[in-house]
Amino acid sequence: CKRIREAYRKILASGCIPLTMGGDHTIAYPILQAVAERHGPVGLIHVDAHADTSDVVLGEKIGHGTPFRRCVEEGLLDCNRVVQIGLRGSGYSADSYEWSRAQGFRVVQVEECWFKSLAPLMSEVRTQMSSGPVYLSFDIDALDPGFAPGTGTPEIAGLTPTQVN
Protein backbone atom coordinates (compact mmCIF):
# COMPACT_ATOMS: atom_id res chain seq x y z
CA CYS A 1 0.00 0.00 0.00
CA LYS A 2 2.79 2.42 0.87
CA ARG A 3 4.42 2.23 -2.57
CA ILE A 4 1.09 2.74 -4.34
CA ARG A 5 0.24 5.72 -2.12
CA GLU A 6 3.66 7.31 -2.75
CA ALA A 7 3.38 6.81 -6.52
CA TYR A 8 -0.04 8.46 -6.56
CA ARG A 9 1.18 11.37 -4.46
CA LYS A 10 3.77 12.04 -7.18
CA ILE A 11 1.24 11.67 -9.99
CA LEU A 12 -1.19 14.05 -8.29
CA ALA A 13 1.56 16.55 -7.44
CA SER A 14 2.39 16.77 -11.15
CA GLY A 15 -1.18 17.88 -11.87
CA CYS A 16 -2.14 14.72 -13.73
CA ILE A 17 -5.44 12.90 -13.35
CA PRO A 18 -4.48 9.25 -12.85
CA LEU A 19 -6.04 6.34 -14.73
CA THR A 20 -5.42 2.94 -13.19
CA MET A 21 -6.18 -0.37 -14.84
CA GLY A 22 -5.73 -3.75 -13.24
CA GLY A 23 -5.23 -4.96 -9.73
CA ASP A 24 -7.98 -5.77 -7.29
CA HIS A 25 -9.77 -3.38 -4.97
CA THR A 26 -6.98 -3.50 -2.41
CA ILE A 27 -5.28 -0.79 -4.49
CA ALA A 28 -8.25 1.58 -4.16
CA TYR A 29 -7.39 2.21 -0.51
CA PRO A 30 -3.90 3.72 -0.93
CA ILE A 31 -4.97 5.54 -4.10
CA LEU A 32 -7.86 7.18 -2.25
CA GLN A 33 -5.54 8.04 0.63
CA ALA A 34 -3.33 9.99 -1.80
CA VAL A 35 -6.26 11.65 -3.60
CA ALA A 36 -8.01 12.69 -0.37
CA GLU A 37 -4.73 13.96 1.07
CA ARG A 38 -4.50 16.35 -1.88
CA HIS A 39 -8.17 17.18 -2.53
CA GLY A 40 -10.12 16.30 0.62
CA PRO A 41 -12.92 13.72 0.76
CA VAL A 42 -13.63 12.16 -2.62
CA GLY A 43 -16.85 11.11 -4.37
CA LEU A 44 -16.99 7.48 -5.50
CA ILE A 45 -18.77 5.76 -8.36
CA HIS A 46 -18.28 2.07 -7.64
CA VAL A 47 -19.56 -0.45 -10.21
CA ASP A 48 -19.15 -3.94 -8.79
CA ALA A 49 -20.91 -7.15 -7.80
CA HIS A 50 -19.72 -6.68 -4.21
CA ALA A 51 -19.85 -3.72 -1.82
CA ASP A 52 -16.23 -4.13 -0.69
CA THR A 53 -17.14 -2.69 2.71
CA SER A 54 -16.50 -5.71 4.92
CA ASP A 55 -14.65 -5.12 8.16
CA VAL A 56 -12.47 -8.22 7.75
CA VAL A 57 -12.06 -10.66 4.85
CA LEU A 58 -10.16 -13.89 5.30
CA GLY A 59 -8.78 -12.55 8.58
CA GLU A 60 -7.41 -9.34 7.05
CA LYS A 61 -8.53 -5.72 7.61
CA ILE A 62 -6.95 -4.57 4.34
CA GLY A 63 -7.89 -6.55 1.25
CA HIS A 64 -10.05 -6.56 -1.85
CA GLY A 65 -13.29 -6.82 0.14
CA THR A 66 -12.57 -4.07 2.69
CA PRO A 67 -11.18 -0.91 1.05
CA PHE A 68 -14.23 1.30 1.14
CA ARG A 69 -14.86 0.63 4.84
CA ARG A 70 -11.26 1.64 5.57
CA CYS A 71 -11.76 4.77 3.44
CA VAL A 72 -14.88 5.76 5.39
CA GLU A 73 -13.11 5.16 8.70
CA GLU A 74 -10.32 7.52 7.62
CA GLY A 75 -12.65 10.19 6.23
CA LEU A 76 -11.37 9.73 2.67
CA LEU A 77 -14.83 9.54 1.08
CA ASP A 78 -17.59 12.11 0.89
CA CYS A 79 -20.29 9.58 1.78
CA ASN A 80 -23.08 11.71 0.29
CA ARG A 81 -21.28 11.40 -3.04
CA VAL A 82 -20.83 7.63 -3.07
CA VAL A 83 -22.86 5.42 -5.41
CA GLN A 84 -22.46 1.65 -5.63
CA ILE A 85 -23.99 0.13 -8.77
CA GLY A 86 -24.65 -3.50 -9.67
CA LEU A 87 -24.32 -5.04 -6.22
CA ARG A 88 -25.55 -8.60 -5.85
CA GLY A 89 -24.56 -11.86 -4.29
CA SER A 90 -23.69 -12.68 -0.74
CA GLY A 91 -20.48 -10.74 -0.48
CA TYR A 92 -18.39 -11.47 2.58
CA SER A 93 -20.84 -10.29 5.22
CA ALA A 94 -24.61 -10.25 5.47
CA ASP A 95 -24.78 -6.57 6.36
CA SER A 96 -22.49 -5.07 3.71
CA TYR A 97 -25.27 -3.30 1.78
CA GLU A 98 -26.87 -2.05 4.98
CA TRP A 99 -23.53 -0.77 6.23
CA SER A 100 -23.11 1.16 2.97
CA ARG A 101 -26.58 2.67 3.26
CA ALA A 102 -25.99 3.61 6.90
CA GLN A 103 -22.97 5.66 5.80
CA GLY A 104 -25.11 7.59 3.30
CA PHE A 105 -24.03 5.67 0.20
CA ARG A 106 -26.55 5.23 -2.58
CA VAL A 107 -26.76 1.49 -3.24
CA VAL A 108 -28.18 0.41 -6.60
CA GLN A 109 -28.57 -3.35 -6.54
CA VAL A 110 -28.33 -5.11 -9.87
CA GLU A 111 -32.03 -5.96 -10.09
CA GLU A 112 -32.74 -2.22 -10.30
CA CYS A 113 -30.65 -2.23 -13.50
CA TRP A 114 -32.10 -5.26 -15.26
CA PHE A 115 -33.78 -4.85 -18.65
CA LYS A 116 -33.12 -1.14 -18.99
CA SER A 117 -30.61 1.47 -20.00
CA LEU A 118 -28.44 2.91 -17.26
CA ALA A 119 -28.43 6.35 -18.93
CA PRO A 120 -31.12 7.84 -16.63
CA LEU A 121 -29.34 6.47 -13.55
CA MET A 122 -26.01 7.86 -14.68
CA SER A 123 -27.59 11.28 -15.24
CA GLU A 124 -28.72 11.21 -11.59
CA VAL A 125 -25.26 10.05 -10.51
CA ARG A 126 -23.58 12.92 -12.37
CA THR A 127 -25.83 15.37 -10.54
CA GLN A 128 -25.10 13.69 -7.20
CA MET A 129 -21.34 13.89 -7.80
CA SER A 130 -21.62 17.67 -8.37
CA SER A 131 -18.21 19.28 -8.27
CA GLY A 132 -15.09 17.94 -6.68
CA PRO A 133 -12.92 14.92 -7.32
CA VAL A 134 -14.57 11.58 -8.06
CA TYR A 135 -12.95 8.16 -8.04
CA LEU A 136 -14.51 5.83 -10.61
CA SER A 137 -14.01 2.14 -9.97
CA PHE A 138 -15.22 -0.58 -12.32
CA ASP A 139 -14.73 -4.16 -11.15
CA ILE A 140 -15.00 -6.71 -13.96
CA ASP A 141 -17.29 -8.86 -11.79
CA ALA A 142 -19.98 -6.18 -12.21
CA LEU A 143 -20.58 -7.88 -15.54
CA ASP A 144 -22.48 -11.12 -15.68
CA PRO A 145 -19.94 -13.98 -15.77
CA GLY A 146 -21.36 -15.01 -19.15
CA PHE A 147 -19.60 -11.88 -20.48
CA ALA A 148 -16.58 -11.93 -18.14
CA PRO A 149 -15.94 -15.57 -17.24
CA GLY A 150 -12.37 -15.00 -16.07
CA THR A 151 -13.20 -13.01 -12.95
CA GLY A 152 -12.09 -14.56 -9.69
CA THR A 153 -15.34 -13.67 -7.91
CA PRO A 154 -18.22 -14.40 -10.31
CA GLU A 155 -21.81 -13.61 -9.36
CA ILE A 156 -24.64 -14.51 -11.73
CA ALA A 157 -27.22 -12.04 -13.07
CA GLY A 158 -24.84 -9.14 -13.57
CA LEU A 159 -24.77 -6.16 -15.87
CA THR A 160 -24.36 -6.49 -19.63
CA PRO A 161 -21.64 -4.90 -21.76
CA THR A 162 -24.31 -2.77 -23.45
CA GLN A 163 -25.38 -1.34 -20.10
CA VAL A 164 -21.89 -0.33 -19.04
CA ASN A 165 -20.86 1.05 -22.42
**Residue pLDDT, tens place only, 83-99:** 999 999 766 666 789 99
Three-state DSSP class for residue 3:
helix
Give the pLDDT score at 98.
Answer: 92
**Packed helices 28-39 and 2-13: angle between N→C axes, nearest 10 degrees:** 40
Residue 20 belongs to a domain: no
Instruction: Tell which residue, 52, 50, 78, 80, has the closest CA to residue 66.
Output: 52
Q: What is the DSSP letter of 132?
A: S
Supply the CATH number for residue 73's domain: 3.40.800.10
Averaged pLDDT for residues 38-54 = 97
Considering its fold, how many domains does the chain have in total? 1
Question: What whole-number distance in Å separates Cα of residue 23 and Cα of residue 52?
Answer: 14
Question: What whole-number distance in Å separates Cα of residue 41 and Cα of residue 62?
Answer: 20
Cβ neighbours for 82, distance < 8 A, ≥ 6 positions apart: 43, 44, 46, 68, 100, 103, 104, 105, 106
> Where in the sequence is the domain holding 102, given as residue range(s)?
42-164
Residue 23 belongs to a domain: no
Give the pLDDT score at 89.
Answer: 77
pLDDT band at 5 (very low <50, low <70, confident <90, very high): very high
pTM listed for this prediction? 0.95
Give the pLDDT score at 91.
Answer: 64
